A and B are shown apart, each in its own frame.
Chain A
Amino acid sequence: MLSTIQPPRYLSRFPLRGRTKSRPFHILSSVQPVTKTAFAADQSQILSIRDSLLNRHLSAVELTHSYLNRLKQTEPHINCFLHISDPDKVLKQAQDIDDKIKRNEEVGPLAGVLVAIKDNICTVDMPSTGGSYILEGYRPPFDATAVKRLKDFGAIVVGKTNLDEFGMGSTTEASAFKVTANPWDLSRVPGGSSGGSAASVSARQCVVSLGSDTGGSVRQPASFCGVVGLKPTYGRVSRFGLMAYASSLDVIGCFGSSVADTGILLHAISGHDSLDATSSKREVPDFTSQFTSASSLKSRPLEGLRVGLIRETVDAGVDSGVKSAIQGAAAHLEQLGCVLKEVSLPSFSLGLPAYYILASSESSSNLSRYDGVRYGNQASSDELNALYEESRAKGFGSEVKMRILMGTYALSAGYYDAYYKRAQQVRTIIRKSFKAALDENDILISPAAPSAAYKIGEKKNDPLAMYAGDIMTVNVNLAGLPALVLPCGFVEGGAVGLPVGLQIIGAAFDEEKLVKVGHIFEQTLEGYNFVPPLITDVGGASA
């Protein structure tokens, strides 16, 4: 029986709080009668909400109230949001859903689901700053396609989350406005750049959230905050409305407290968009059709699945606690029937420099539009060049300036071949080596980051150390592949330990497999509770 599977002995065992404490998630305990089995964090909240709304066990207004309450109590501690929607408007939307249900009208599949949006994704009539001072107060006249689809499905936008300016950073410290804390340990970073989106889901301030992933900006914070992060294949989700950082690498990704939720969320935003020429016209399969509840799983549900552990990701330079958590996860996959072997990607270490050249180059171009002429903060200046120079000097933070300078340099005449062109060649090699590895394996696994969350300020003055932290994730962006990060264990740190994420990489457009494997993995992983203590301490008190 699966339920008897215990974490391997060598797995870190810090937070064994799970079952012993009372339900941390107050509102969801009222959902219990619907799902029959006791609610666990590894099950879909979106589906639970839908069930309880349609069965009238819970109203959207009640649900919204409880989230807003928790948000109000936790937000001063973690600072996830750059903008929080007007509670009255949010409750009004919830009321509209309740009214529809009352009238037996159809409601969207995401009706009543509170969603947070990373602030580099445009939302109409709501500030969208990209975490940059240069766009302070900017309100776009349109919704990003992903946001529009969520709204069309009935989701309610609860606010805009903090990020490293324009997505450039791995800690969310590079935001022009505030520093977000990790709900597991308030002295630590939530990761980045989608730190606000990850932390807000971790702190249950919202049900799910959207982030963006250029070099790991969804997966690394998911790992740091103990939530599920899903980076889709490049082209799966429209980038229209996502403020471009590096156009050939950027994707909008999903956060949730379960694989099922991220799968449902991704399904909602996937598909071709006529406003994005790089969005794929491939059919989007229903990722959720693969869901099987824990009780009906076979004994070895992943029998024969070929799993390749990328050797280079568990080498030197990776935290030993992280290594053992990943090995534990690998052992768990084996117990589920997977055939595990190590694979080597010799080009793996080339990914980091190639990534930083390509991403910086594209960003130096993408950020040219922030010139103070048409929108955003404008410096007052005597003449045109000074207007540009001062608007940009004052508007951009130092990390952004550094990357613009690096990118400008790499694209300059005489350097283009040595940097940009060579990095593109490396990219081709990486893409091929991943393709080969994924021809031989169904999925590849690795840590999502070389370490768990580190202290705020720890790497702020050491950009190279921070960049090195992206080693696990950038290759996936260069290859354009989908990857799922889900919590698989803990390392020592903080009051109760710090979560560690397992990265599962799939073949292009095979998100379905990632969601299926992840869903089985999280349902069968016993002994962990990935709800941070903050919720029980702060949120629980209010319950």
Chain B
Amino acid sequence: MASTFFRTIQIHPFLLYPTALFSRRNGVLYCTMKSSQTQTATQEKQQPPKVKVPQHALKKTVDKITRDYEAIIGIETHVQLSTLTKAFCSCPYNYGSQPNTSICPICMGLPGALPVLNSKVIEFAVKLGLALNCKLSLNSKFDRKQYFYPDLPKGYQISQFDIPIATGGYVDLDLPLEFGGGHRKFGITRVHMEEDAGKLLHSGNGDYSQEITSLTSIYSYFSKHTVDLNRAGVPLLEIVSEPDMRTGIEAAEYAAELQRVVRYLGISNGNMQEGSLRCDVNVSIRPVGQSEFGTKVEIKNLNSFSSINRAIDFEISRQALLHSQGQSDQIVQETRLWEEGAQKTVTMRKKEGLSDYRYFPEPDLPEVILTQEYVDSISNSLPELPEAKRRRYEKMRLSMQDVLFLANDMNVAEYFDATLSSGADIKLAANWIMGDIAAYMKNEKLSINDIKLTPQELAELIASIKSGTISGKIGKEILSELLAKGGTVKGLIEEKDLIQARLEIIVYPYERTELNFLIADPVEIGKMIDKVISENPKQLEQYRGGKTKLQGFFAGQVMKLSKGKANPGLLNKILLEKLNGQS
């Protein structure tokens, strides 16, 4: 049976778990999908929080109690690297492929197979280490972390133990204004390289809080649980924070900043829903003023930034309530699971003492030796990182709201920067991007890379409006054309006959207002006014009889005639002269 089982994997991966393939995709770990990919922490948090603290009636009391305690929060983050191939073999990894279609003797842990390190993993680790302001270990090594689990083919995970590749860094971030704003600096304990495990595919209700050891027969075990090794051996960077966070929102923003950093670096897609960015959060509380830490609880199954935020706030309330009721002994070291549906954490497993992973140096892999030149060359190739970007935008006198919006998404920031380098006005460029363009992207569900409008044309558009060549209103019309179809501002203006009197024709003593005006030729405007006046002799009579309010009527008619292109200041001035019979 055993060898058949094995050979099936080799020959016909699709038939490995015949009944498992199609029905079991939903119960997969890290797979509670909820929000769309481009959602960001800030955007999520703009939704009203839907926290259901133990019982609604208790909420006020809990808030009051919570104030007496301080929460200590640390986060372990696993970032899945977007290398072309896995960490130690040449299998590609694509999220969502059919189970066991991207496996080989090495990532299956077959007898005699050996790991060979993908050098991209080192490069990405160095990039992240530098981006998180860490000290890099020029001599590090891999170690084996040993435990048995069906998703771990070799019976050990290749990881780094006592000499991680990067240590002692920090991350800077700015809290969103709606959460009070403010700058924060959180410590990074270490960054190390390791490999991912496979996935257990659970059948049935997908409730994996149920430990699989409690199943009743091995027959049912393998009919209900299968292993997908596609993810086994995919490279990860584990980032361990210092216990520096105090609230759910700080933790969520920390995770969001890590996402920004890995996306800016291009080392991971940072997608939480696909499990490319996974956060395990440790929470403990202590009475305000106490120096020693309380018992810490680990929370898993956090699939979005808002669930990090809400799970932590729930957990703080839960622990605070237990404390205040004299039941602090019920806060035990355990792993709890965030249940998105119920909006609460539940016990997943209690820790039975410390696990002994029997780490020892991986003898199959040589030591990892970095030269300073290598580190320097990577350091020189780093892009501008989110924090630097935010500080630069801040110096441009953009509001913090604008800064956070623009720097949040690397592509948006790049677009903004490209628009500026084409000569656009800073504030106007920011407004267009955050206003009409963002709205368009949201409606059409597009990313900024998908829109047809180039930053150069946006700059052109802004310049055209600013110079008065077109009005703001027409600018918006042109914008939607450009967004959907592309093209140039000049081309569209000409095509639609939106262009008007050249400025050089203007030899008129009137001052231009800050308003946008197009037809600035007094002769042309005069002709239109003459036309309107001659067509409305009755109104002219009334005006001249003292009903001067009718000036507005005439102005409106002229504007209508000009299709909104007449310079209103000029129009009124000439109109007034004509109505008062000066010509």
Contact = CB atoms under 8 A, between A and B. Distances in A.
Interface of A: 120-122, 128, 130, 135, 137-142, 144, 239-244, 246-248, 274-278, 361-362, 364-365, 367-378, 380-388, 408, 411-413, 416, 420
A275 B105 CA distance: 11
Given A139-B7, A384-B221, A412-B356, A243 B112 contact: yes
B538 interface: no
B218 A381 contact: yes
Contacts of B217: 382-383
B183 interface: no
A278 B113 CA distance: 13
A377 B155 CA distance: 16
Most buried by B among A408, A411, A412: A411
Interface string B1-33: 111011101100000000000000000000000
Interface of B: 1-3, 5-7, 9-10, 105, 108-117, 144, 146, 148, 150, 153-156, 212-219, 221, 227, 354, 356, 358-360, 363-366
Contact of A387 (B3, B115, B221, B363): B221
Most buried by A among B116, B146, B218: B218
Contacts of B110: 140-142, 369, 374-375
Contacts of A120: 112
Contact of A140 (B112, B216, B365): B112
Nearest to A380: B218
B111 A411 contact: no
A140 B105 CA distance: 9
Given A141-B110, A384-B150, A388-B148, A277 B115 contact: yes
A234 to B, nearest CB: 10
Given A138-B111, A383-B221, 19 more contacts: A120-B112, A128-B112, A139-B3, A141-B105, A240-B114, A242-B112, A247-B363, A275-B116, A277-B117, A361-B360, A368-B155, A369-B110, A369-B154, A371-B150, A371-B155, A375-B3, A382-B215, A383-B214, A408-B358
A277 B116 contact: yes
A137 B10 contact: no
A293 to B, nearest CB: 39
Given A375-B3, A378-B2, A382-B217, A240 B113 contact: yes
B9 A374 contact: yes
A246 B217 CA distance: 35
Given A368-B156, A373-B227, A130 B111 contact: yes
B226 to A, nearest CB: 11
A496 B363 CA distance: 44
Contact of B146 (A137, A243, A246, A368): A368
B218 A383 contact: yes
By secondary structure, the B interface counts as loop
A253 B169 CA distance: 47
Given A361-B360, A369-B153, A371-B148, A276 B111 contact: no
B358 A244 contact: no
A387 B218 contact: yes
16 contacts: A137-B3, A138-B111, A141-B105, A240-B114, A244-B114, A274-B116, A277-B366, A278-B363, A365-B155, A367-B155, A373-B227, A374-B5, A377-B2, A383-B218, A413-B354, A416-B358
A382 B2 contact: no
A490 to B, nearest CB: 37
Given A277-B114, A277-B364, A371-B148, A382 B216 contact: yes
A128 B2 contact: no
Most buried by B among A240, A248, A367, A383: A383
A372 B360 CA distance: 24
A138 B154 contact: no
A248 B112 contact: no
Contact of B111 (A140, A378, A383, A387): A140
A236 to B, nearest CB: 15
Nearest to B3: A137
Nearest to A389: B148
A374 B10 contact: no
Given A373-B150, A374-B153, A138 B212 contact: no
A52 to B, nearest CB: 35
